[in-house]
Amino acid sequence: MNAHIDFLLERNSAPRLTEPAPDANALNVMLKSAFRVPDHAGLRPVRFISIENHRLGALGDVFEQALINRNPEASESQRERARKSPFRAPMIVVVVSKITEHPKVPAEEQRLSAGCSAYAMLLAAEALGYAGIWRTGDASRDPFIAKALDMKENEEVVGFLYIGTRTGEPKGLDKKLPEGCLNCW
Ligand SMILES: Cc1cc2nc3c(=O)[nH]c(=O)nc-3n(C[C@H](O)[C@H](O)[C@H](O)COP(=O)(O)O)c2cc1C
């Protein structure tokens, strides 16, 4: 084994996060990593929206309104949960896929590449001493939220990366390979 392999095998998500969030230099490295992923025809089918501390409340308001739009009967506790959900990290990076018409690269391949970018960003954050977790849920498919984030018609939320510094006990990692995950043909 070597240090790179150890790093890959130890990587894990952090649902409990606190300050500090990555600074501008760290975010820059994370972005560069995100643009070093496999990308058929070099379409660069991804972009990012960073939402830092002072804007998390505004995002929470958008999440709450989106919930009310989806479910006007939502209870006060459901609304509060939606409103407070961005505060689970000091920074959220929204990973947005940008789908371009291309004769050789279908939309699905572009979404896969954008997903690789999300993972690369998490890996880079972890390599820099931060941590994060990839979340989606109803918010990632909600047109009201997409509009509030100024997303275009050809864009989709790949995930909300909650990023900061890990708190809490490290979890045990399941390193066993799933039964039947490799077949020789
Ligand atoms: C596309 C995608 C969407 C996800 N959405 C959520 C989510 O909304 N909420 C959540 O708790 N975990 C979500 N996860 C799972 C976590 O990111 C994480 O992988 C999981 O908690 C397992 O932890 P680990 O990465 O340390 O193995 C999602 C993962 C992926 C790939």
Cβ 12 under 6 angstroms from ligand 1: yes
144 burial class (0-12, 13-18, 19+ CB within 10 angstroms)?
A: middle
Cβ 140 under 6 angstroms from ligand 1: no
Cβ 137 under 6 angstroms from ligand 1: yes
- What is the reported pLDDT for 102? 98
3-state secondary structure of 38: coil
- What is the reported pLDDT for 170? 80
Tell me 129's DSSP state: T
Helix axes 53-70, 76-84, angle to 10 degrees: 150
- What is the reported pLDDT for 161? 98
Query: Domain spanning 12-52+89-166: which CATH class is it, in words?
Result: alpha beta
- What is the reported pLDDT for 88? 98
- What is the reported pLDDT for 86? 98
Give pLDDT < 70 ranges for the chain: none
* Closest ligand 1 atom to 171 CA: 26
Closest Cα to residue 74, out of 65, 62, 86?
A: 65
- What is the reported pLDDT for 1? 72
- What is the reported pLDDT for 125? 98
Tell me 167's DSSP state: -
Tell me 140's DSSP state: G
